[in-house]
Amino acid sequence: MITHEQLLAELEKQTGFTEFRAGQAESLTALFHEKNTLAILPTGAGKSLIYELYGKISQRLVVVVSPLLSLMQDQVASLNFRGEKRAVAFTSMLSAQDKAYVESHLMDYQYLFISPEMLTNPGLFARIKSLNPGLLVVDEAHCISTWGPDFRPEYLLLGKLRTALGSPLTLMLTATATPEIKADIKAKMGLTDAYEVVTSIDRDNLFLGTKTVESQAEKLTTLKTFVKALPKPGIVYFSSKKMANEVAEVLNQTFPFGVAAYHADLSSDDRFKTQQQFMSNKLQVICATSAFGMGIDKNDIRFVIHFHVPATLEDYWQEIGRAGRDGKPGIAILLYQKHDEQIQLALSENSIPTRDEVQLFYRSPKRFEVVEDDKFQLVKFYHDHGYPETELANYFDQRRMSRERAIREMVSYTTLSSCKREMIGSHFAAKMKPHDETCCSNDLTLDQIEQLQLPENSVAQDNQESTTDWQTVLSQLFLLKN
């Protein structure tokens, strides 16, 4: 069995680092003791190093189930850039020819990144199974609980897929999980006895601020005031793609630095270009929906502002975790206008099937054999997997109520006059730093921001930037065959 000293030697050999971050060594030790592991580590804690080093040492195939195309591309490009050429993302972006190539050469890869939907492909699944994977990784594992029931239901199949793969050693990674979500992840994966590695989720270098405004016009003015005052780069999150576009345009017209929108309606090329320009500081501010940020490996983001109330405290904590990953001070700001939560309530109502919709489908499922409506596709998934009508209708009612409770809790955080970090700690059952002047504010002011002494702007270095873009683009071009 590998010792801690051997792990340290491998760490230095593979990465140049001489020390592990909190939770990394414990997770690796558990895996090398053949323990299925749920690791809850804060954003920026180097979760990917755990499975990367496991693959290097074991020389077994590592299958990483990942929720987002951009996240998979980033992880493959990062491995390629650091000299690991045996990594590939099997995604819908590949041509039929490239998919055939990857599938026929799977034995040549050490790391395979794949979505839960793609993993259900029978031919590809059989090929992966034949290679006897050494480690199955569920990255952003909270998606099993938060996305699986009513957004990405294929996440609910991962437990059965794992069993069908031969029950390989499994690592589940996340930065945000309440005790209830932890239990739900393990139950849905069929790993109720999984070993838990839990480090502090507190990001004590982040100041938590909220600001209540009376109108949309005041909110936009307040946003511009904060963006002007804050060091860059930063991210502004929206619940509306339309608003992300409109505010990005306003900010571009107001300030001399680059601002761009990022959301799912942009082409993959535009998203990639925007992301790379932000990574190299050509763009100083991104106006984004939640499609941006998960897995973004940029450590000098100084602020995250939410223009709209997120759906849950888990989403909020995940998204503000983009800031201050270099350990230097950062700030998270939530702007709130009364009834902002109606946006999230409407999104919830429009995504969860009603009892009438469930009944309509079950009365005549053949009518919906080819269906594009998201809600009926969701009902079809559960129908095809044997869920009884009444049970499903009750389940969706419970999900709707659960979402409404989460949104109300998010509003409570926004208007809370006592310590916000303490409320976050209570929600996650986590120990947080004691309240002080660097902790939080319920009525954020420019004077408070100034007193935080945030680091100065990150400035794009043209020559270095050009080199980095070259290397990044080359990594993307040769994802498949290097």
What SS3 class is residue 169?
coil
* CA-closest candidate to residue 102, choices 121, 75, 79: 121
Residue 125 to residue 110: CA distance in whole angstroms: 16
Residue 86 identity (one-letter amino acid): R
User: What is the tens place of the pLDDT at every residue in 101-153?
Assistant: 999 999 999 999 999 999 999 999 999 999 999 999 999 999 999 887 887 89
Cβ count within 10 A of residue 93: 13
Query: Residue holding tokens 């059989």?
Result: 126
**Please, what is the end-to-end C-alpha distance for the chain in angstroms?**
32
CA distance 186 to 188: 6
pLDDT at 189 over 90: yes
Report the distance separating Cα 250 and Cα 470, nearest Å: 31
* Banded pLDDT at 52 (limits 50, 70, 90): very high
Position 295 confidence tier, pLDDT thresholds 50, 70, 90: low
Neighbours of 150 (CB within 10 A): 21
pLDDT at 71: 82
What's residue 73's pLDDT? 82
At residue 457, does pLDDT exceed 90? no
Give the model confidence (pLDDT) of 197-250 as tens digits. 999 889 999 999 999 999 999 999 999 999 999 999 999 999 999 999 999 999
For residue 474, what pLDDT is reported? 42
How is residue 419 written in tokens?
Answer: 């310590």
- CA distances in angstroms from 217 to 198, 214, 245, listed in the order given: 43, 8, 16
Q: What are phi and psi of 85, to 5 degrees?
A: -90, -5
The span from the CA of 3 to the CA of 32, in Å, is: 9
Q: Nearest Cα to 283, choosing from 293, 273, 291?
A: 273
- pLDDT at residue 470 greater than cutoff 90: no
Backbone angles phi, psi at 207, to 5 degrees: -85, 135
Residue 293 or 31, more confident: 31
CA atoms of 235 and 284, how far apart (whole Å): 9
- What does the pLDDT look like over 344-368, one tens digit per residue? 999 888 899 999 999 999 999 988 8
- Confidence band of 463 (pLDDT split at 50, 70, 90): very low
Give the domains, in start order, of the chain with CATH numbers: 4-199 (3.40.50.300), 206-342+407-470 (3.40.50.300)
CB-CB neighbours of 392 under 10 Å: 20
| C-alpha dist (Å) from residue 451 to 147, 229, 231 | 39, 12, 13
Structure tokens at 343: 């946006």
Q: What is the mean pLDDT of residues 74-98?
A: 90
Report the Cα 88 to chain-centroid distance in Å.
19
pTM of the model: 0.87
- Tell me the C-alpha distance between 108 and 276, whole Å: 29
